[in-house]
Amino acid sequence: MSDRTAAAKAVDSETANRREIIRTIKGPIVERLVSIIPALGAYDDVYGTVMQSPDLLYGCMQVFRKQRELFQDLLVDKDGLPVLDDATVLKCDRNVNQIVGMVVRSGCKAYSEKRWGGAGTNKAVPVVNPATRSLLDKLAELVRGKWGDAEQPKPVASHADKFYAAINDFLDADWQVPLIPHFAELPIKLIVELGRGVTALHNPEAITALADIGRHSLDQARKILSDSMMREMLDTQPLAAKGVAFLGKERYDFLYGAVYEKMGEKFWEMCVDCDRLEAMEQQNAKDLEQMSAFLHVISAETINQILRFLQFAFIPVFLEVANAKLGEEKFAEIFGPAGNKKLIKIFCEKAHAYKLDPADPVEDMRKRLPDVFGAYLRAPADFEKGL
Q: What is the per-residue pLDDT for 5?
A: 55
Segment holding 33, helix H or strand E: helix 30-36
The residue count for the chain: 387
Mean per-residue pLDDT over the chain, rounded: 87
**Spacing of C-alpha 212 from chain mean position:** 18
Percent of the chain with pLDDT over 90: 72
Q: CA–CA distance from 72 to each of 28, 57, 63 (Å)?
A: 12, 20, 13
Domain annotation covers residue 326? yes
Burial class (CB in 10 A: 0-12, 13-18, 19+), 77: middle
What pLDDT is recorded for position 125? Answer: 39
Query: Which of 116, 143, 171 is a domain's end point?
Result: 116
Chain segment 279-292, per-residue pLDDT in tens:
998 789 999 999 99
Is residue 357 one of the residues assigned to a domain? yes
When mean pLDDT is compared across 17-31, 108-122, 173-187, the lowest value belongs to 108-122
- For the chain, the domain total comes to 2
In a domain, 82, yes or no: yes
What local confidence, expressed as pLDDT, does residue 197 receive?
A: 87
**240-278 pLDDT per residue, tens:** 999 999 999 999 999 999 999 999 999 999 999 999 999
Query: Quick one: CA torsion of 280, 301, 332, 337, rounded to 10 degrees?
Result: -80
Residue ending a domain, choose from 116, 138, 159: 116
Phi, psi of 287 (to 5 degrees): -65, -45
Quote the CA–CA distance of 249 and 239 in Å, as a whole number: 17
Check: CB of residue 219 under 8 Å from CB of residue 242: no
Half-sphere exposure of 347 (CA within 13 A, CB side): 34
Q: Establish if 212 belongs to a structural domain.
A: no
169, 297, 353 from 372: Cα distances, Å: 49, 21, 11
Q: Residue 63 in contact with residue 37, Cβ under 8 Å? A: yes
281: region left, alpha or beta (phi > 0 left; psi from -120 to 50 alpha): alpha
The model's pTM? 0.73
Is 163 inside any structural domain?
A: no
Show which of 116, 143, 166 is a domain's final residue. 116
Task: Give residue-wise pLDDT tens across range 82-116.
Answer: 999 999 999 999 999 999 999 999 999 999 999 99
φ/ψ region of 248 (left if φ > 0, alpha if ψ in -120 to 50, else beta) reads left
For residue 279, being part of any structural domain is answered with: no
- pLDDT for position 299: 96
Residue 118 has pLDDT above 90, yes or no: no
CB-side exposure of 73: number of CA atoms within 13 Å?
Answer: 4
What is the span of the domain harbouring residue 61? 7-116
